[in-house]
């Protein structure tokens, strides 16, 4: 069972992470150690060449892992990204992006998560992400 609700996460995002609000990211589901976040397609996300810009994909993935982590540890606002690696696998279409995140290792001070990202107009992965988060002392 998740230690936070979608409503609690959305409230945190509105109050503390305005970039996610501005990006229009939508938390679609939340379960213990898992989160699915959607970035509705916007032409403003495009870069030269007509593909979705990497920073949009990176922001979406980071948001998704953060939500998945908080589903395990509760509302620990100061859990922060300490490393982030993204592999861009194929060009996303002009469609929504969907980030499916999971926590693969949760320790006392560090958590490791991963994201599989797809473009809503096809089935193959457009990106794979791994990230490590630092958890403040006494948070877990």
Q: What is the pLDDT of residues 47-63, one digit of tens each?
A: 998 899 999 999 999 99
Q: What is the pTM of this model?
A: 0.95
- Least confident interval from 2-6, 14-18, 56-60: 14-18
Measured CA to CA, the distance from residue 51 to residue 12 in angstroms comes to 30
Q: Is the pLDDT of residue 94 over 70?
A: yes
Residue 111: enclosing H or E segment and its boundaries? strand 110-119
Structure tokens at 2: 């998740």
- The pLDDT value given to residue 140: 65
* Position 82 confidence tier, pLDDT thresholds 50, 70, 90: very high
Lowest mean pLDDT among 1-5, 27-31, 38-42, 125-129: 1-5
Distance of CA 133 to the CA centre of its chain: 12
Binning pLDDT at 50, 70 and 90, where does residue 17 land?
confident
pLDDT, mean of residues 115-140: 93
Q: Rounded to whole angstroms, how far apart are CA atoms 48 and 42?
A: 14
Rounded mean pLDDT of the chain?
95
């Amino acid at each position: 069972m998740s230690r936070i609700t979608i409503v609690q996460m959305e409230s945190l995002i509105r109050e503390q992470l305005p970039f996610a609000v501005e990006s229009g990211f939508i938390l679609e589901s939340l379960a213990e150690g898992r989160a699915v976040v959607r970035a509705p397609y916007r032409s403003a996300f495009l870069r030269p060449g007509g593909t979705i810009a990497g920073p949009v994909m990176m922001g979406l993935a980071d948001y998704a892992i953060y939500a998945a982590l908080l589903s395990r540890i509760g509302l620990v606002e100061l859990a922060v990204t300490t490393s982030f690696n993204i592999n861009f696998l194929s060009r996303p279409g002009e469609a929504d992006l969907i980030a499916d995140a999971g926590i693969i290792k949760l320790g006392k001070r560090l958590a490791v998560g991963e994201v599989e990202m797809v473009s809503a107009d096809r089935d193959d992965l457009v990106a794979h992400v791994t990230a490590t988060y630092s958890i403040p002392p006494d948070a877990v």
